[in-house]
Structure 1
Amino acid sequence: MAVIERVRTDLYRVPLANHLTDSTHGVMMDFELITVRIEDSDGATGVGYTYTVNHGGAAVATMIEKDLSTCLIGKDADQIERLWQDMWWCLHYAGRGGHQTSAISAVDIALWDLIGVKTRMPLWKLFGGYDPRVPVYAGGIDLEFPLARLLEQADEFLAQGFRAIKMKVGRADLREDVARVAAMREHLGEGFPLMVDANMKWNVDEALRASRAFLPFDLTWIEEPTIPDDVVGNARIVAHGQHAIAAGENLHTIYDFAQAIERSALTLPEPDVSNIGGYTGFRKVAALAEAHNLSLTSHGVHDLTIHSLAAAPHRTFMEAHGFGLDEFIAQPMQITDGYATAPDRPGHGVELDFTGLTALDAA
């Protein structure tokens, strides 16, 4: 039995090539990346990571370094479910979601990577395997782009191999959103998968008004029309908005997803492997979705997420997120005619260039 000997946590700031904007987070010039490296008594290492938008990364890194590491050292690295439960209850009183599950996520991802490395199997096969080719969409973070730049970005996405695109909505004047969506639909043509993301901007009545205004444009889904805390309001939007509703990047526990699904507050569960409790949490949400006959999508960290969706028969499009790490990954995800292919490398197969990242002090 190999036991966990070392847990290393690092915090980095990753600059974005372009300034990105959505309706709630404001201007984003960079993001904080929290990495975890777990080494066992056989000398094998697994790597995991999570991220935060604008703020909060130091809290996540400190939770891992000061608290979760004590749950791990000396324990069997293969007993991931037991370790997950240990971490959950270690931080339950201090969090129960949010920073807690982001911290657990990074560790869980590293533990699964460690098993994949040692068994020399890619995670999507360890998870059961379905189809390594996963349909993928380009997630634009482009609310304040001038219209010409928005359409130019769409052309860039097409040239990169994408065959589905998501754009941001939630401007101060709904008429501007409608005009921009209309322009994108005309530019992309009928039948092209187009999604919009409001990033929780609207209240329920505003969301219903926007949903009705978008009906002529054949949207694949509307994402996060209102805050996730309003389960009843989200259910009203699903029932009366006449659109598929994707949500879940701000649901951080399987219990959050269970309530949303049971109350029909979303139609496409959208977990984020980096804040739902890692692969362990993501797979439990995937099982909930399948049991309720719902298609599964995803949010963020696409280089990691692809393994979960490659093992899910009910998946739909995976998001290729605007917060990419291509510059720091040895073999970044490639898009070909609308699909990405899960790698056959052991574990998750993401090899980070730690020397190229800019370290921050978590203290």
Structure 2
Amino acid sequence: MLDRITSVTLSSVTLPLGAGISDAKVLTGRQRPMTEVAFLFAEITTEAGHEGVGFSYSKRAGGPAQFAHAREVAPDLIGEDPSDIGRLWTKLVWAGASVGRSGAATQALAAFDVALWDLKAKRAGLPLAKLLGAHRDSVRCYNTSGGFLHESVEQVRDNATRTLESGVGGIKIKVGQPDHAEDLRRVRAVREHIGDAVPLMVDANQQWDRPTAMRVGRALEEFGLVWIEEPLDAYDAEGHAALAGALDTAIASGEMLTSVAEHAELIRHGAVDVLQPDAPRIGGITQFLKLAALAEHRHLQLAPHFAMEIHVHLAAAYPLEPWVEHFDWLYPLFPERLEIRDGRMHLSDRPGLGVTLSEQAREWTVARETVGTSR
């Protein structure tokens, strides 16, 4: 049955974090500690009464820019058939073509795109993963939010204990400090604490140069890491390729890239063993699916970054066994919870993404605008 979009409601929501969050970019002086995350939510309704919700986000600067761009292009969705998701993505990207096909512009479009996929799955009465064609009902998961550098190594170890007891399967900690010996000390302490059997990853957040990455990467080999993440600048495909060729430990990257084309460069150079795309950052689910096809063709592992509420579905639909990143930061935004046990994140039977906006999210809304007319 043909349906039409009647309204789009945009909300800019500021999520406060409990403490200033620091990774290596803070310790090297490139950024300030992070105290909040800006979310862009899009709620789309149709003539037939169907609804979809999607979101994008920005850490530190960029949230107002995403909201402003989304507000400008949202009218182009009114009257359209919500099933034509690919065509609508193209229509919206051309509506803002002068500001490009990556960055804040396409991150704004991601909120619409995710909402349209949520709506489509709800119309089918299926979880999004099932609509896409799931390969599994649960996905391996690892935690990042307990491994930041503003906390002492003793606190990171305690966090790891609680995380593993909660059912999460792996632990990732931050490295990339100016003192490389301190990085190695923290990794050794955590590895000894959790044991050799627990999957352990590290993330340097782009803070090493090529010689340092090679030297520290070799020193990290003894810890049996699942991967070393972002050892170099995100756009240094050749440098990542050299590391991937020289080290036994897998190299992971991709979260800071904001288009399929940028990820394709990593793939073309053989720069990563583990690709880490972020659906909200690259323009949504439509773009993520294009990238996933490229990654599968090259037999790459997949570990989507952040936004587990979206990525658990996309990872479940990836043919090769993936990972999903567990972050508890977003818990206040949604009343629903993903089931996590035995080291895996399990799909719910709720249709679509399986999440709704909480009252707390409504209270944290700093800007809101509706285009079109509600039923």
Contiguous gaps of at least 5 residues in structure 1? none
Looking at structure 1, the residues matched to 36 and 279 of structure 2 have their Cα atoms a distance apart, in angstroms, of 20
Does residue 261 (structure 1) correspond to residue 267 (structure 2)? The answer is yes
Give 1:285's aligned amino acid: L
2:15 match: 14
1:308 match: 314
Once the two structures are superposed, the pairs formed by residues 1-363 of structure 1 within 5 Å of their partners are 1-24=2-25, 25-67=31-73, 69-140=74-145, 141-321=147-327, 324-356=329-361, 357-361=363-367
Per-residue CA deviations over 1:309-342 (Å, capped at 9, x if unaligned) read 11112132211125x3212312111210111111
- Return 230-239 or 219-228, whichever deviates more: 230-239
Looking at structure 2, the residues matched to 314 and 278 of structure 1 have their Cα atoms a distance apart, in angstroms, of 21
Note the aligned Cα RMSD (angstroms): 1.6
Is contact 2:109-2:284 (8 Å) kept?
Answer: yes
Looking at structure 2, the residues matched to 355 and 16 of structure 1 have their Cα atoms a distance apart, in angstroms, of 14
Cα distance, 1:76 vs structure 2:
1.0
Cα distance, 1:362 vs structure 2:
8.0
Give 1:60's aligned amino acid: Q
Is contact 1:21-1:142 (8 Å) kept?
Answer: yes
- Return 76-85 or 280-289, whichever deviates more: 280-289
Give 1:309's aligned amino acid: A
SS of the aligned residue for 2:281 comes to coil
Is contact 2:339-2:347 (8 Å) kept?
Answer: no
The 1:161/1:19 distance shift into structure 2, 3 A limit, reads farther
Per-residue CA deviations over 1:34-58 (Å, capped at 9, x if unaligned) read 1001111112210001111112101
SS of the aligned residue for 1:219 comes to coil
Looking at structure 1, the residues matched to 86 and 101 of structure 2 have their Cα atoms a distance apart, in angstroms, of 17
Cα distance, 1:59 vs structure 2:
0.4
Looking at structure 2, the residues matched to 303 and 316 of structure 1 have their Cα atoms a distance apart, in angstroms, of 15
Cα distance, 1:90 vs structure 2:
2.1
Give 1:80's aligned amino acid: I
Looking at structure 1, the residues matched to 47 and 274 of structure 2 have their Cα atoms a distance apart, in angstroms, of 41
Looking at structure 2, the residues matched to 362 and 331 of structure 1 have their Cα atoms a distance apart, in angstroms, of 23
Give 1:89's aligned amino acid: W
Looking at structure 2, the residues matched to 328 and 254 of structure 1 have their Cα atoms a distance apart, in angstroms, of 28
Is contact 1:238-1:265 (8 Å) kept?
Answer: yes
How many residue pairs get matched? 361
SS of the aligned residue for 1:360 comes to strand
Looking at structure 1, the residues matched to 346 and 36 of structure 2 have their Cα atoms a distance apart, in angstroms, of 27
Give 2:336's aligned amino acid: Q
Is contact 1:11-1:61 (8 Å) kept?
Answer: yes
Is contact 2:339-2:348 (8 Å) kept?
Answer: no
Contiguous gaps of at least 5 residues in structure 2? 26-30, 370-375
Cα distance, 1:153 vs structure 2:
0.9
Is contact 2:229-2:253 (8 Å) kept?
Answer: yes
Looking at structure 2, the residues matched to 272 and 54 of structure 1 have their Cα atoms a distance apart, in angstroms, of 17
SS of the aligned residue for 2:282 comes to coil
Looking at structure 1, the residues matched to 323 and 81 of structure 2 have their Cα atoms a distance apart, in angstroms, of 36
Looking at structure 1, the residues matched to 253 and 54 of structure 2 have their Cα atoms a distance apart, in angstroms, of 24
- What is the TM-score of this pair, normalised by structure 2? 0.92
Give 1:54's aligned amino acid: R
Cα distance, 1:354 vs structure 2:
4.3
Give 2:38's aligned amino acid: E
- Percentage identity across paired residues of the two chains: 35
Runs of 4+ off more than 3 Å:
354-357
